Structures are given as C-alpha cells and as structure tokens.
C-alpha cells in the first residue's frame, strides 16, 4: 500500500483523542527480565514508570519542531512487495521488551526508495535460499517516546531519544533478520531481537561461527543496497537519505485511511 498524501501531522486534541480510541493497552510494570532465545519470548525489561502513565504523557506530547525542506512521505506497506517476505511484528503483540502491544495492526511501512531497496535485498538473497523476516519498520513518534521514557539508563543505547526522533519515525529504518526459504525458520544470530546486551552489537566477537556468519551476511547484503547497520543492534538498518524525511506520528489506523 502506498501512502502518498502524508505530511507532518496536526497534533491537536482531536488527534490525541483518536490515538487513545484506536489503541488497546495492557499495564505492565515490575516484570522480571528474561533473555530471549531464537523463537522464544523476548528479552524483557522493567519499565521505570507504569506504562499507562507513560502512554498518557506520550499522547499529550508533540514531536520536536523541524525546519528544512523535507521530501513528501510516500510510505509503502512491505507486505505488498513479495509474498515470500515474512513478518513477526513484535510491537503489535505482547512479545516485546516491554510486554504490551504498541500497534493496533501488525503492519510494516517504509518510504518508497527504502522499500524498493529492501525488495532488491530480498531478491538477491533468494539465490542463497534465504529470505527476509521483518520485525519493525515505520514507528509513530509517541511510541518512541514511550520506549525512551520506560527504559532504564543502562539500556538507553538501544532506544532512540524522542528529542531527536528515531529514523523509524521517518519511515527510513527497518528491523529484520534472515530466514531459510526451505524450512521457514529464522537463522541463528548471536542474540535475539531487542536483546539489550553486548551480544546484540554488530561487531560482537562472541557466539558461534554460524551465528556470526549469518549476522555478517545480513549486514553485507543490506549495506550493499544503501542501508547502514546501527552500532548497537545487528537487526537495525537505516536507509541512506533518512534525514530527508520528516518525523511522523501517524498511527497505523491513519495510514490505512
């Protein structure tokens, strides 16, 4: 799906009311931390404040003011690119590092040039009997604020500061991994998705040779198509020219209108 008519959203009271009406939240606080293994429950942190409180604060806040000439957003729903691309949109479920759903729908969007580059990556990987498994892409700004405000200081390298916005907010970042086309199973990596530990770093020297080889292959192919890996997360890639797009705060419900 192409969303070609988007602009920087109006942060009015009506917009806030719409957000509250379209999201379902489950309070989560005081949960123990667990380490993710491939296919098992996600790494979990204890939020520093109750999530319902953080949600209210995020919905009452507005993204940072930006100046400059930005490109008009043209978001593409990634499920329309190729049926062989798989999805595990963790933030539409409670299987994520904070244990509650943040998205009403399990969708993934990228700006059109990034989406095309991702499709090229997927096609290249087919020759290796591999495909892409998407965890996340475009993310509304208020969700980024919740992540930041909920996360203890020792884990701040793994979440974006809302004062600057995330490249996810611009529709120019994607979280993903590789899967085996024959078995349908994700390849093993040195860490799980959103595992906020050193072994998540793309230059981590531990783990098994197979895990490192899979991680490095993902990075090599993605970077050959205009993406750059984030220094703390092997799964996070920013697309070139991300700074040309504005920070967005649209819900998935609004993207589908």
Whether the pLDDT of residue 14 is over 70: the answer is no
Q: What is this structure's pTM?
A: 0.85
pLDDT digits (tens, 9 = 90+) for 228-246: 999 999 999 999 999 999 9
Output the domain CATH number for residue 56.
3.30.1380.10
* CA R_g for the chain: 17
For residue 41, what pLDDT is reported?
A: 67
pLDDT tens column, 205-219: 999 999 999 999 999
* DSSP string of 85-108, one letter each residue: -EE--GGGSS-STTSS---SS---
CB 217 within 8 A of CB 178: yes
Q: Which residue blocks in 23-103 are alpha helix, DSSP H?
A: 51-60
The H or E element that residue 253 is part of is: helix 252-255
Count of domains for the chain: 1
CA nearest neighbour of 141 among 251, 22, 257, 253 = 251
Could you give the 3-state DSSP secondary structure of residue 149? helix
| DSSP 8-state symbol, 141 | H
What pLDDT does residue 256 have? 85
Residues of the domain holding 58: 2-255
């Amino acid at each position: 799906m192409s969303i070609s008519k988007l602009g920087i959203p109006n942060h009015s009271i009506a917009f806030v009311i719409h957000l509250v009406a379209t999201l379902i939240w489950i309070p989560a606080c005081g949960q123990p931390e667990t380490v993710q293994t491939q296919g098992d429950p996600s790494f979990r942190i204890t939020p520093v404040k109750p999530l319902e409180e953080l949600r209210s604060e995020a919905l009452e806040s507005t993204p940072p003011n930006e100046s400059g000439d930005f490109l008009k957003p043209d978001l593409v729903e990634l499920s329309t690119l190729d049926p062989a691309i798989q999805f595990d949109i963790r933030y539409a479920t409670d299987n994520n590092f904070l244990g509650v759903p943040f998205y009403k729908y399990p969708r993934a969007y990228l700006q059109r040039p990034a989406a095309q580059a991702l499709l090229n990556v997927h096609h290249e990987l087919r020759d290796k009997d591999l495909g892409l498994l998407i965890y996340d892409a475009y993310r509304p700004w208020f969700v980024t604020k919740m992540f930041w405000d909920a996360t203890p200081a020792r884990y701040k390298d793994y979440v974006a500061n809302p004062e600057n916005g995330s490249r996810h907010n611009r529709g120019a970042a994607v979280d993903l991994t590789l899967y085996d086309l024959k078995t349908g199973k994700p390849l093993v990596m040195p860490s799980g998705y959103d595992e906020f530990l050193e072994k998540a770093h793309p230059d981590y020297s531990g783990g098994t040779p197979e895990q490192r080889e899979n991680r490095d292959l993902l990075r090599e192919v993605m970077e050959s198509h205009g993406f750059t890996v984030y220094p703390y997360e092997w799964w996070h890639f920013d697309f070139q020219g991300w700074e040309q797009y504005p920070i967005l705060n649209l819900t998935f419900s609004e993207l589908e209108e």
